[in-house]
Amino acid sequence: MPNPLYLIRIGTKDPRFEPSLELMNNSFPTDERRHDDELRGLVESSPIFAFNVIMADGERAGLITTWNFGKFIYVEHFAIEPRLRGHGLGIRALRTLQETSALPLVLEVEPQHTSPDAARRIKFYQRAGLNLWATPYTQPSYGLGKAPLPMALMTYQLEETPECTQIVKAILYKNVYKVKTIDIPHALF
């Protein structure tokens, strides 16, 4: 039986924050993440946003940032240290998140046709129990100088329906990306 794995919410003053931020910056293209100073402010001020380190065998193995919207948990960024990849830590981290939250999970991925890495990531998330939604989705820009991107949504314990898709998209656009023109419809799930 593997040693326990923990997700620990940290702040910007925690010594694990800067190495985890570096991992995020090395794992995600500029257009797929907010500016570092904006992230630091969010970590310190938002009660619904969590910057979590993944701890395994007593060491920092990665990071997972989440938003708790009450209806679902949105996984914004998730990365395992390169030297620790391929050892099952990613699946264990997602399962830990699934087990510690009674809420469905939602995350964005690059469409599988965009690259072999994108197809590999989707298969990884499917092994963790997530389903790929067919509805087209665009990730809005993270801010000035950053481009919107074609993405796909994947979920755990959340059925793809037109109404559900509309709600998830509206919540993400308004809260994560600060798109002002989106109204959140009445909750249908």
pLDDT at 108: 98
166-185: b or e for each residue (b if 16 or more CB lie within 10 Å)? Answer: ebbbebbbebbbeeeebeee
CATH code assigned to 5-175: 3.40.630.30
Q: Which residues are CB-neighbours of 47 under 8 A, at least 6 positions away? A: none
Q: What is the dihedral of CA 98, 130, 94, 28, to 10 degrees?
A: -140
Judged on CB neighbours under 10 Å (0-12, 13-18, 19+), 127 is exposed
Angle at 104 between CA 139 and CA 11, to 5 degrees: 70
Closest among 152, 165, 162 to 126, alpha carbons compared? 152
Encode burial over 149-161: b for 16+ CB neighbours within 10 A, e otherwise.
Answer: bebbbbbbebeee
Asked if residues 71 and 171 have their Cβ atoms less than 8 Å apart, the reply is yes
Burial label for 119, CB within 10 Å (0-12, 13-18, 19+), is middle
For the stretch 141-159, pLDDT in tens is 999 999 999 999 999 999 9
Distance in angstroms (rounded) separating the CA atoms of residues 67 and 105: 10
Residues in the chain: 189
Mean pLDDT by 10 residues, the chain (189 residues): 88 98 97 97 98 96 98 98 95 95 96 93 96 96 94 97 95 93 60
User: Which pLDDT does position 7 carry in this prediction?
Assistant: 98
In this predicted model, what pLDDT tens digit does every residue of 87-116 receive, in sequence order?
999 999 999 999 999 899 999 999 999 999
